Structure 1
Amino acid sequence: MWRTAWTGRVDRYGVPALVVAAALLRLPFLGAPLSSDEGGFLMVGGQWSPGTSLYGDYWVDRPPLLITIYQLADLLGGGIALRLIGIVAVGVSVVLAAGVGRLAAPADRRAPLVAAAAAAIFLTSPLYGAREVDGELLAVPFLLAGMLAVLSATSGHGGPRAWALAGLAAVAAVSIKQNMFDVGVAVAAAVGWMLWNRHWRAAGVAAAAFAAGAAVMLGTVLGWAALHGTTVPGLWDAVVKFRAAAARVIASSATGTNEFRAQGLVAAFLLSGALGILLVAVLPSLRRRNGRHVLLDHPDHPHADLVVLAAAVAAWEAFSVIAGGSYWLHYLIGTVPGLVLVAAVSIRYRPGRLRLTGNVLAYAAVLAVAGTAVVAPVVGDPTPSTQVGDFLERRADPGDTGVVAFGYATLLHDAGLSSPYPHLWSLPVRVRDPELARLTRILRGPDAPTWVVVMGDSTTTWGVDGTTADEAIDERYRQVRVIDDWHVYHLDEGR
């Protein structure tokens, strides 16, 4: 009786407790310095209106729903508001993950808690770069909502409405980060399975309803972007064509730093416990019933086997991380929906592995808590870049502008400086202005920035020839401060 009562309390309060725990693990970073991405996107979102570039006066290779979220954060106050939005995104993701577990393994009352735990742990683990509120984190709730819709449809309960909701969620996620196409992959796997088993009508209904939902969301996002002056051809160039060009530049010009980050990414994935979740699910990859391997639901059922869906989603997420090119830790956040789905499906097909899955999650939770305890006290410590930001904030006058060569837009955001140069990140510079022709024109023109910050003694870096830009800086600017490897220049009106 005692065990039954305890199990009932866990079932009832377990998921809310995980939501609270995940929020508490993120609270220490509420007022921490913004990352380069966070500061840059807040700058873009805060001024998004018809302007001279893709998003107002700035250009970035990201879809419009991401900029909309940052626009909202800026309206609500900036950095702290953004971090609170991140906490909400994590909490919603944990609840949705519990729903995924419930539908993926309806016969096991422990599945929702396991799936929710996987989301809570990996969305707060420092090994996953979870401190940042970036595109991957903000897309996860939409991905899990889409997975929930797909599972509802494949269970035979949701019908066309569930497939349409999956379409809405799929486009919403892609409109935050263009490679977050997990829901579309799951739907493609489901429809492919139906076609393979000659369930033509079911496949047609699923594809049509999904397409209808996707079209509604796509039209809404593009319409919202158009109201702000962002065009469809401009978005296509930014979120599709640019990524192909960027991959070529990274492959041909990137230094050993990328390889180092790639090694760190692999190490983080291995140490975090994520690999353990996958191994529990696939080793051994089959269970036996009456001497036969059982992987698929009954072939006469018109809905796809969940193993197929989970495998397709996990494979897509692995590809997305590898294809990202720059190998930042927060790329790993994009694997969370797949881990949730794999854990839940594993319980459905291998309930005997639940204890092992629990042990892996307990290990991952200890690492997440310990990592947060180590990182949180030092995350606000002064660094050379934050000292540069403090210097600019103290010295800048109202109406001043600035350029950072290259990236680190947080320095400008924190100092309240806008930029006359549309590229706030280094990769767009390397792809769209590698010889700094546009930057040089700005430096020599009437809209020259008041402040120029350069990491190192030249704007030349991998993939960038800074010869002409360096000459323009020498002609019109004087160096006013050097902090570590950062050089700060001020426009000399008399030169």
Structure 2
Amino acid sequence: MLARLRKVDPRLVVALSAVAAVVLRFPGLLYPLGSDEAGFTLVAREWHPQPTSLYGAYWVDRPPPLIAMVKVSDAIGGPLFIRLVAALGAGALVVAAAATARQMLRFAGETDTAYAARTGAWTAVLTAALTSSAMIDPVMAKGEILGIPLVVTSFWIGLRALNRAVEHRPDLPALALAAGAGLLAVLAQGLKQNLVAGLVFGAAVLVGARVRHRITTTTLVRLSLGALAGGLVPVGATVGWALWNGVLLHTLWYAVYGFRSDALEVITAQSQQAPASRALLLLGIAVASGAAFILAGVLLHRRRVWRLDPVLTVATLAVVLVDTTSLVLSGSFWRPYLFALVPGVVLCAALLLAVRDYVARRTERLVVAAVVVSLAATAVWTVRDYAGVAPPDATRTGLALHRAAEPDDTVVVYGGHAELVLASGLRSPYRHLWTLPMRTLDPDLSQLQDLLEGPDAPTWFILWVPESSWGGLAAPIMPALLERYELHGETCGGHPVYLLEGEQRPELDPRCDGRGSPLLG
């Protein structure tokens, strides 16, 4: 079987892999928005920057380029259009992964272009399997899946720039390519802050090429300045936007980076049972998807890979180390976080496939296994979720609110679930749509308590998380809730829905019997 696969035109394999990566994410185009996607959409729609508030009505710890992308996407095709953007990005990622592998072999001195093309094709197949696997996330369009195509593309064009310099080709195209690599590497962080692999890889291969006397000091400086110039473009644009709109630079910095240290303290102060369970799940997915074997393969066969090219080996290991450390330090361990490891997997797979012995053959078999597992997982997920077994309770509740509420009503959901707020079509007067920012920036719920006791109290309040959660965090708000609100039904999952006292609204009907579409109501 593998022998027959090796005879297929590599260009066809790459093209089909890219198409598969897009098509296998197609079911997600019809699935209701998740909490993060809905939250980003709400933030984008209410985006009014202020000196001490990056986005205005709502608070989120994400960079402006991500919210800007969501805003533009929403304006073009509605809130679900970002899923199409992510699907097309997955296809572009596959093409970039294949091109990166070819450039890596070119840098390593491989003169057999057919062999380099086959290596790129196998790398493309593995990349498609990882980005569309239901074990990770074939649906949600979040910063990780949106940003990694930029990271891998920065690998590709950065290596092209370096290869041109090594081969003593004209400087100007190499400088332009280096600038493009720097721009994309930094822009990826504008979609998710921890996507630094492009910068790590670029710096490592540049310094390594100089240490190994592949380029001169002058060339190192020129390419570095080109990459720096490109990287300063998105940074300058973001800072310039903030200053133009009167946003304090401290406000920008804290939302993008400073918040994470405070949030990590909150995460570590709480029970670690749930994060530990998710961490074990991530480890299991990394093994089942084949990603863990690819990453470990470079260490296991380090001598063969080193003989192939020491510079690429060091750069790849640096990327894997930084991305793995970033994942561990996240503390939350949600499944989409595994996408951040994909750039490192691409580099590792290319190195293993480039070794002309049994290592490459074993890696090919591993790629085939990863494809089979990915397709099986995606098929099971598609059948299960599209058979209507478990329609999302939050979306149904939001649609029920939309049917029962009046236009000027507002809603607060204690426990996150911004998709409920978006589906309801109502505004939330509480700035925190996610639980981690709430627990970090309103740790005693004083802001929420003042809201419930004040004149702008929400019309609806949904206690999605029990008051006993997070060490009884909700205790301060319960007196105001019980005094000013009346129980007005519950969600399909039994979460109580409260209505402000004195208001009259129809009975809430979340259609728990399955009537209506979870998307359309």
- Same fold at TM > 0.5: yes
Instruction: Name the CA distance, whole Å, in 1 between partners of 2:61 and 2:217.
Output: 39
Unaligned runs of 5+ in 2: 107-111, 166-172, 505-521
In the superposition, relative to structure 1, how do residues 307 and 229 fare at CA in structure 2: closer, same or farther (>3 Å)?
same
Alpha-carbon shift at residue 437 of structure 1 (Å): 0.6
What residue is the counterpart of 2:280 in the other structure? 263
What residue is the counterpart of 1:302 in the other structure? none
Q: Does 1:321 align with 2:327?
A: yes
Instruction: Name the CA distance, whole Å, in 2 between partners of 1:414 and 1:141.
Output: 30
In the superposition, relative to structure 1, how do residues 203 and 218 fare at CA in structure 2: closer, same or farther (>3 Å)?
same
Which segment is superposed worse, 309-318 or 464-473?
A: 464-473
What residue is the counterpart of 1:372 in the other structure? 378
In the superposition, relative to structure 1, how do residues 268 and 487 fare at CA in structure 2: closer, same or farther (>3 Å)?
same
Instruction: Name the CA distance, whole Å, in 2 between partners of 1:174 and 1:167.
Output: 11
Unaligned runs of 5+ in 1: 298-304
User: Which residue of the other structure, out of 454, 459, 480, is the alignment partner of 1:450?
Assistant: 459
Contact 1:31-1:79 at 8 Å conserved across structures: no
User: Which residue of the other structure, out of 455, 462, 483, is the alignment partner of 1:475?
Assistant: 483
Alpha-carbon shift at residue 444 of structure 1 (Å): 1.6
Q: Say what the alpha-carbon RMSD is for the aligned residues.
A: 2.4
In the superposition, relative to structure 1, how do residues 413 and 225 fare at CA in structure 2: closer, same or farther (>3 Å)?
farther
Instruction: Name the CA distance, whole Å, in 2 between partners of 1:383 and 1:81.
Output: 19
Instruction: Name the CA distance, whole Å, in 2 between partners of 1:113 and 1:184.
Output: 25
Describe the superposition over 1:394-415 as per-residue Cα deviations: whole angstroms up to 9, x where unpaired: 2122122111112110000111
Normalised to the residue count of structure 1, the TM-score between the two structures is 0.90
Contact 2:353-2:361 at 8 Å conserved across structures: no
Alpha-carbon shift at residue 268 of structure 1 (Å): 0.8
What residue is the counterpart of 2:348 in the other structure? 342
Which structure 1 residue ranges, 4+ long, deviate > 6 Å from structure 2?
A: none
User: Which residue of the other structure, out of 116, 120, 123, is the alignment partner of 2:124?
Assistant: 116
In the superposition, relative to structure 1, how do residues 481 and 255 fare at CA in structure 2: closer, same or farther (>3 Å)?
farther
Alpha-carbon shift at residue 446 of structure 1 (Å): 2.0
Instruction: Name the CA distance, whole Å, in 2 between partners of 1:334 and 1:321.
Output: 8
What amino acid does structure 2 have at the position aligned with 1:57?
Answer: A
User: Which residue of the other structure, out of 276, 292, 299, is the alignment partner of 1:282?
Assistant: 299
Contact 2:294-2:345 at 8 Å conserved across structures: yes
- Count of residues in Structure 1 that have an aligned counterpart in Structure 2: 480
Residue 413 of structure 2 aligns to a residue in which SS?
strand
In the superposition, relative to structure 1, how do residues 330 and 464 fare at CA in structure 2: closer, same or farther (>3 Å)?
farther
Residue 25 of structure 2 aligns to a residue in which SS?
helix
Residue 376 of structure 1 aligns to a residue in which SS?
helix
Identity of aligned residues (%): 35
Instruction: Name the CA distance, whole Å, in 2 between partners of 1:353 and 1:255.
Output: 39
What residue is the counterpart of 2:416 in the other structure? 407
Instruction: Name the CA distance, whole Å, in 2 between partners of 1:433 and 1:453.
Output: 18
Describe the superposition over 1:211-239 as per-residue Cα deviations: whole angstroms up to 9, x where unpaired: 21111221123334556665432120112
Residue 210 of structure 1 aligns to a residue in which SS?
helix
Which segment is superposed worse, 224-233 or 321-330?
A: 224-233
What residue is the counterpart of 1:246 in the other structure? 263
What residue is the counterpart of 1:353 in the other structure? 359
Contact 1:49-1:228 at 8 Å conserved across structures: no
What residue is the counterpart of 1:33 in the other structure? 32
Q: Does 1:189 align with 2:186?
A: no
What residue is the counterpart of 2:519 in the other structure? none
In the superposition, relative to structure 1, how do residues 457 and 315 fare at CA in structure 2: closer, same or farther (>3 Å)?
closer
Describe the superposition over 1:374-428 as per-residue Cα deviations: whole angstroms up to 9, x where unpaired: 1113335324333322322221221221111121100001111211111110100
Instruction: Name the CA distance, whole Å, in 2 between partners of 1:405 and 1:78.
Output: 26
Q: Does 1:90 align with 2:99?
A: no
Alpha-carbon shift at residue 312 of structure 1 (Å): 1.0
Contact 1:194-1:200 at 8 Å conserved across structures: no
Instruction: Name the CA distance, whole Å, in 2 between partners of 1:228 and 1:419.
Output: 24
Q: Does 1:22 align with 2:25?
A: no
In the superposition, relative to structure 1, how do residues 14 and 230 fare at CA in structure 2: closer, same or farther (>3 Å)?
farther
Contact 1:457-1:487 at 8 Å conserved across structures: no
Q: Does 1:466 align with 2:481?
A: no
What amino acid does structure 1 have at the position aligned with 2:75?
Answer: L
Alpha-carbon shift at residue 485 of structure 1 (Å): 3.8
User: Equivalent residues in 2 for 1:194-213 (5 A)?
Assistant: 194=209, 196-197=211-212, 199-213=216-230
Alpha-carbon shift at residue 494 of structure 1 (Å): 7.0
